[in-house]
Structure 1
Amino acid sequence: MTIHLVGGGRDEAWYAELYGPFLAEAGAQPEVACLLLDEGDVPEQFERWSGALTAAAPCRPRAVPVVPGAAFDPAVLDGADAVFVGGGLTPEYASALAGPLGRRLAERPLPYAGFSAGAAIAAGRAVVGGWLSGGVPVCPEETAEDLDEIEVRDGLGLIAPAVDVHAAQWGTLGRLVEAVARGAVPYGLAIDENTAVTVRGAGARVRGAGRVHLVRPDGGEAAAVRSYRAGEELPL
């Protein structure tokens, strides 16, 4: 299974670059199950994502609401050729999907694309929000996802590194650095907007407008960061 992680952003000029490879792997005119957090605006979300995906390549998007607090039935993926998980409150996506969707994709893999929250929950241990570490700010409060302290929860288990998103635009790289430095996650990827990383096995490749920042432990309570541009490979 190939994993495509998009760090956010809505620049239409990058749709083909960001989503085209994901759709190509799903086959000719694939049916794409679009999992979208139901906050009363699924039709509006689906209109946007249907437009984005069909602009990238011929496909057949299908809306699948993710209802907060309700059990997710993976049978809704039957007939789908690929899975797309959209943005919204990351903790709600993780709570709803980590178990059932993770198990379903482990048993019957499909090409996976995650945008923003959908990228963050792809990890085995997912950074779902927060802006404080021991009461000390590490990123802007408005990026906290309604949480205070950095919080890590079970994710889908599709990839080993944790993921944070909107890295350059929202200043979330600091949150991921802190999570890695204190050992809350093994290592991580912070992805800029309008930027994607494609993960295949132990390797990954960057595409899009910005950078992907690989964060690894660096002894004690420290972390090292290396940034990669479009076209570059990074080791996982």
Structure 2
Amino acid sequence: MTLFLIGGGPTQAVAPVLDEFVAAARGRGNRIAVAILGSEDEAAGFLDAYADPITSRFPEALIEPVWLIEPDDGPIAWPTAPEDLAGLVVAGGWTPGYLDALTPQRELISTLVRRGIPYLGWSAGAMIVGRHAIVGGWRHQGRQVAPEIVGEGSTELDIRDGLALIGPSIETHADSQFLVGRAMAALKVGPMRSVVLIDEDTALVVDASSGRTAVMGPGRVAWVSGEADEFVVRFEPRH
């Protein structure tokens, strides 16, 4: 029951994280689902960036793409017998779109994780796993709390119900996009109790059954908690 939550996109810096994900998946079989936002025509060109790091370590892996399409385009086709998957990868991109597309599969994904299927989330794929997800916005009550580039199509802070695989909310690209201010704003107005900020090229590894966590990669992972105008920032030590 392990989640590998990566603070950015595929790079060599996260090689040890991929090694551990593949090791966890290999013991369960060879079918790896890769969920990526868009139709096959729109997103096929991005699939290799997420599939190659797996197949280079696990040549026997069978990559099964899950094209996360718009609701008007019909139902999303999930792999047959999903309970037999060896691993689930959720790619990066437009966070609100990933959450909207995967919310109808929340119970299925939760069941897979509870059964021990490892989950690998890149950027947006990491941001949606909490009970509540910060999916966009760069202002709160007229005040800028993050760079405009992280708005994801929204101006005001946008907090929604997440996939609820873990309790805390997740922010990725924390160092490069200066997101501590947005995390604090979310804690002040949202229902979450803590926000975890993950740097680029860095992963938070979560044992979903025990709640134990570990940090992998060169960057930092910070836990922000608090209420009203008082906040506590704790940096997760490497193990």
TM-score of the pair, normalised by structure 1: 0.88
Residue correspondence of structure 1 range 1-236 to structure 2 within 5 A: 1-12=1-12, 14-28=13-27, 30-38=30-38, 40-58=41-59, 59-69=61-71, 70-74=74-78, 76=80, 78=82, 79-100=84-105, 102-109=106-113, 110-200=117-207, 201-217=210-226, 219-229=227-237, 231-232=238-239
1:76 deviation in Å?
A: 4.8
1:73 deviation in Å?
A: 4.9
Per-residue CA deviations over 1:66-106 (Å, capped at 9, x if unaligned) read: 01335435555624211000011100111110231x20023
Per-residue CA deviations over 1:137-189 (Å, capped at 9, x if unaligned) read: 00100111011111111111100000011000111222112111334422111
Change (3 A) 1:77 1:95: farther
* Structure 2 residues not aligned, in runs of 5+: none
**1:23/1:30 contact within 8 Å kept:** no
Q: Which amino acid aligns with 1:64?
A: V
1:2 deviation in Å?
A: 1.1
Which stretch shows the higher mean deviation, 149-158 or 220-229? 220-229
SS in 2 for 1:146: coil
- How far apart, in 1, do the equivalents of 2:236 and 2:54 lie? 25
TM-score of the pair, normalised by structure 2: 0.87
SS in 1 for 2:49: helix
- How far apart, in 2, do the equivalents of 1:77 and 1:224 lie? 44
CA RMSD between the two structures: 2.0
* Structure 1 residues not aligned, in runs of 5+: none
- How far apart, in 2, do the equivalents of 1:155 and 1:71 lie? 20
Matched residues, number: 228
Change (3 A) 1:77 1:208: farther
**1:119/1:163 contact within 8 Å kept:** yes
**1:197/1:204 contact within 8 Å kept:** yes
- Structure number with greater CO (CA < 8 Å, separation at least 6) is 2
Identical residues among aligned pairs (%): 30
Which stretch shows the higher mean deviation, 203-212 or 54-63? 54-63
- How far apart, in 1, do the equivalents of 2:81 and 2:176 lie? 33
Change (3 A) 1:77 1:159: farther
- How far apart, in 1, do the equivalents of 2:180 and 2:57 lie? 28
